Amino acid sequence: MSQFSLQSLIDAEGAADPAFVFDGTPVSRVEFSAKVGQTAAWLAAQGIGRGDVVAVWLVNRVEWIALLFAAARLGAVVAAVNTRYRSAEVAHLLKVSAAKLMVVEAAFRSIDFAAILAGVAKDEVPALQRLAVVGADAIPSQWPCVRFDVFEKPSPAVPPGQDDVDLPVLLYTTSGTTKGPKLVAHSQRTLASHAASVAKALKLSPQRHSLLAMLPFCGTFGMTGLLGFIAAGATIHVLDAFEAAPALKILGEHAITHAFGSDEMFRRILALTDTPRPFPHLELCGFAAFQPGWRELAAEAEARGMPLHGLYGSSEVQALFSIARTSDAFADRIEGGGWPMSPDAEVRVRDTETGGLAARGVSGEIEIRAPSRFLGYFNNPQATREAISADGFFRTGDIGRLRGDGAFIYETRAGDAMRLGGFLVAPGEIEDELKSCAGVADAQVVAVDLKGQARCVAFVIPSTEPPAQEALIARLRERLAGYKVPARIYVVDTFPVTDSANGVKIQRARLRTMAMERIAAE
């Protein structure tokens, strides 16, 4: 068995049992290995073999992980489907991946999987042959259905194979400039080697540490944390989908030491308890900042014993690519970026104006070469060539700077970064100043073309009476360089947002459109 196979992660020496706890039900490592073998046999009976794609449209459950590990044994590929997806997104993923089989929930909370699939035209996805339904014999569908009854009756197992660990085994979706999301292909080697790096970098102990898995397995953020703790041999408590109340309960009752999530997830958990320090066992909470006010959240969390650590990752280089260290000063520890998990990872920054490599402390595009780097975009060689440099670095499209001590700081997406007065400016810098002004509860800043000049426009949500634009601009002029002062400040009730797998994100493109419409109306 190759050290870079997924199965090798389960076989970790000195591992704790159970390996997983799903809704209070423990699953040992021996039990999970048996489930993987049963699942591989079931997939083979469905005609799934080397190179075939299985779409997995499930919430966090043991079947999800078993399908991934089973596909690896057969040389097959799992395409991860976000449970937030709707018809157009599901159709796009099925078409691009050419999935032969889709494993789908019968129902989950308010999600009507059958109704969503009814919006997918059969001729759009000619490769799809059937659905396998978890929890029911069938759902109303244009496609034949079989019951995914792998664990309901005894079945023969497929022994661990000598499969090629460099074949694609998992496809994530990632947003981009194209009409639909691209599919990011990873192999067993990229997944397993990064999982081992995470376990080693975080110094995880099977007997001392445990994970609350509250992020969806369909995304790299949820999957990487899961695989890292499997590699460490530590127990993983799984939420089928995030809710703050059960998360709070598990954190308290099971002495959880680690959790990863969005700033909004941790904010909701904290809001449910008035205990001064409710998490005495927590050692590290890795978080990604999607919402304004994350610095204030980090300070409150720190005071209440929830140590937030900034991190960095993407589907292409995997989540938890890097994370801040406990030894970092608090202000540095909460910034996105941090120290790469793998000692073999390389991070550089390229000046977007000159095209040359930027010196430490100078902002530019982050480029990464690492063992965790993806194989390429599935069935899209042109996009792959454009994303990877001649010497093997992934062009992230993110803006950041090298810190000079081996760590780096993520500042913003390149699409969000504003070049004002000849300088790259992260919107957060101006937003933080606005939020420090009296009467401002929240703020977002975008760049627009105003009479041929790049200027920024701010939107603010008032905390009480709407603040006067003139007073805010006067305050910012005192605090910021002139080119950072917004040309306009508009008061709004809410910001346009989009729900994603990992949290709620601001629609910055919509804000830019709103800014131009208001300026034109003036």
User: Distance between terminal CA atoms of the chain?
Assistant: 68
Q: Comparing C-alpha atoms, which of 407, 406, 418 is closest to residue 312?
A: 407
Residue 153: its pLDDT value, please? 78
For residue range 301-350, list pLDDT tens digits in order: 999 999 999 999 999 999 999 999 999 999 999 999 999 999 999 999 99
Using 50, 70 and 90 to split pLDDT, how confident is the model at 508? confident
Q: Indicate whether 397 and 456 sit together in one domain.
A: no
- Tell me which residue range forms the domain holding 47: 28-187
CB 487 within 8 A of CB 420: no
Q: What is the pLDDT of residue 500?
A: 65
Same domain, residue pair 154 and 302: no
Mean pLDDT check: name the lowest of 124-133, 134-143, 267-276, 287-296. Answer: 287-296
Contact (CB, 8 A) for 242 and 203: no
Least confidently predicted of 70-79, 175-184, 391-400, 406-415: 175-184
- What is the per-residue pLDDT for 451? 81
pLDDT in tens, 80-118: 998 888 888 888 899 999 999 999 999 999 899 999 999
Burial of residue 297 (CB within 10 Å: 0-12, 13-18, 19+) is buried
Q: What is the pLDDT of residue 452?
A: 74
How far is residue 45's CA from residue 130's CA, in Å, rounded to a whole number?
13
Same domain, 385 and 261: yes
Residues 6+ apart with CB under 8 A from 120: 87, 90, 91, 94, 142
What local confidence, expressed as pLDDT, does residue 480 receive?
83
Q: Lowest mean pLDDT: which of 36-50, 168-182, 354-368, 453-467?
A: 168-182
What's the pLDDT tens digit per position in 406-452? 999 999 887 777 878 767 688 888 998 899 899 999 999 999 988 87
Q: Kindly state whether residue 441 falls inside one of the protein's structural domains.
A: yes
Question: SS3 of 493, please?
Answer: coil
Q: Which residues contact 177 (CB under 8 A, 6 or more apart)?
A: none
- Of the three residues 391, 413, 435, the one that is the final residue of a domain is 413
Compute the average pLDDT of residues 365-380: 97
- pLDDT, tens digit (0-9, with 9 covering 90-100), for 263-297: 999 999 999 999 999 999 999 999 998 876 899 99
**What distance in Å separates the CA atoms of residue 150 and residue 40, rounded to the nearest whole number?**
9
Same domain flag for 407 and 423: no
Strands 364-369 and 394-402: antiparallel
Answer yes or no: do 253 and 160 share one domain: no
One-letter amino acid identity for 373? R
Could you give the CA distance from residue 79 to residue 174 in angstroms, rounded to a whole number? 12
Give me the mean pLDDT over the 447-470 stretch: 89
Cα–Cα nearest to 194, from 217, 227, 242: 227
Same domain, 63 and 107: yes
Sorted by sequence, the CB contacts under 8 Å of residue 385 that are 6+ apart come out as none
pLDDT at 158: 67
Res 178 pLDDT > 60: no
Pairing of strands 235-238, 20-22: parallel
Please tell me the least confidently modeled range out of 88-92, 232-236, 384-388. Answer: 88-92
| Integer Rg of the chain from CA | 24
> For position 518, what pLDDT does the model report?
94
Residues 248 and 354 in one domain: yes
CATH number at residue 340: 3.40.50.12780
Q: Is residue 352 part of a domain?
A: yes
Q: Edge-to-edge strand order for the sheet containing 440-450?
A: 440-450, 453-462, 488-491
CATH label of the domain that carries residue 40: 3.40.50.980
Amino acid (1-letter code) at residue 509: A
Q: Is residue 137 part of a domain?
A: yes
DSSP 320-384: EEEE--TTS-HHHHTSSEEEESSTT-EEEEE-TTT-SBPPTT--EEEEEE-TT--SEETT-HHHH
Name residues whose C-beta falls within 8 Å of residue 126's C-beta, 6 or more positions apart in sequence. Answer: none
Three-state SS sequence of 422-490: CEEECHHHHHHHHHCCCCEEEEEEEEEEECCEEEEEEEEEECCCCCCHHHHHHHHHHHCCHHHCCCEEE
Instruction: Note whether 406 and 423 are same-domain residues.
Output: no
Which amino acid, one-letter code, is at 250?
I
Q: What is the CATH number of the domain that holds 427?
A: 3.30.300.30
- Average pLDDT over the chain reads 92
286 within some domain: yes
Q: Are residues 147 and 293 located together in one domain of the fold?
A: no
Cβ-contact 465, 458 below 8 angstroms: no
Is the separation of the CB atoms in 484 and 456 below 8 Å?
yes
Strand, coil or helix: what is 2?
coil
127 belongs to a structural domain: yes
Reduced to 3 states (helix: H, G, I; strand: E, B; else coil), residue 252 is helix
CB of 373 within 8 A of CB of 197?
A: no
Res 174: pLDDT:
85
Q: Are residues 35 and 179 in the same domain?
A: yes
Give the start-end residues of each E strand in 263-325. Answer: 284-288, 308-314, 318-323
Q: What angle do CA 41, 318, 376 make, to 5 degrees?
A: 75
Residue that finishes a domain, picked among 398, 413, 428: 413
Q: Which amino acid is at 117?
A: L
Q: What's the longest Cα–Cα distance across the chain?
A: 74
Distance CA 428, CA 445 (A): 8
Is residue 434 a part of any domain in this protein? yes
pLDDT at 179 over 60: no
Query: How many domains does the chain contain in total?
Result: 3
pLDDT mean over 134-141: 95
Q: How far is CA 452 from CA 295, 363, 448, 455, 486, in A?
A: 34, 24, 9, 9, 15
Q: What is the DSSP string of 52-73?
A: -EEEEE--S-HHHHHHHHHHHH
Residue 15 included in any domain: no
Has residue 219 been placed in a domain?
A: no
Residue 41 and residue 156 in one domain: yes
Cβ contact 65:213 at 8 Å: no
What element of type H or E holds 182? strand 182-187
246 and 111 in a common domain: no
Asked which of 413, 434, 468 is the last residue of a domain, the reply is 413
Q: CB neighbours of 35 closer than 8 A, spacing ≥ 6?
A: 27, 62, 66, 150, 151
